[in-house]
Amino acid sequence: MGTFSKFFGLKEEIKPDEAVLVYVKLSDNEFGTGEERMWCYSLEDRLIEEILKQQSGELDGHDFGQGYCIFYLYGKCTEILYNSIIGVLGELKLPPQSYTIKRYGGPGAKEIRLEFN
């Protein structure tokens, strides 16, 4: 709560960031090949570029493991964030079993899974 709000006894409405998680399937059930990881780093750069250009949120990082590269994107509106990156994802031929999850709130909120194939 900000100083102004504390001083006047006002409560700030805190809305948890919404999320889009992008799961890129790798060729194995672990961390993929070096080439796949480099491709994912390039994808990350393109996603960041689009998010910044459209001011739709932020890319908070990525993880490799269990056969996927996962990108974590957060913003105030899932739909705006998703729409800002879908063009980039649509340009690429993502591997079979790749998908996104649109999450409408913090952890445990409603989620929608969208397959790319």
Check: CB of residue 38 under 8 Å from CB of residue 26: no
Q: 83-117: per-residue pLDDT in tens?
A: 999 999 999 889 999 999 999 998 889 999 999 87
Check: CB of residue 60 under 8 Å from CB of residue 73: yes
- Residue 63's pLDDT is 97
- CATH architecture under which domain 13-115 falls: 2-Layer Sandwich (3.30)
Q: 52-82: per-residue pLDDT in tens?
A: 999 999 999 999 999 999 999 999 999 999 9
15 pLDDT tier (thresholds 50, 70, 90): low
- Residue 5's pLDDT is 43
Look at residue 6 and tell me whether its pLDDT is greater than 70: no
Quote the Cα angle for 83-80-67, to 5°.
Answer: 60
Look at residue 4 and tell me whether its pLDDT is greater than 60: no
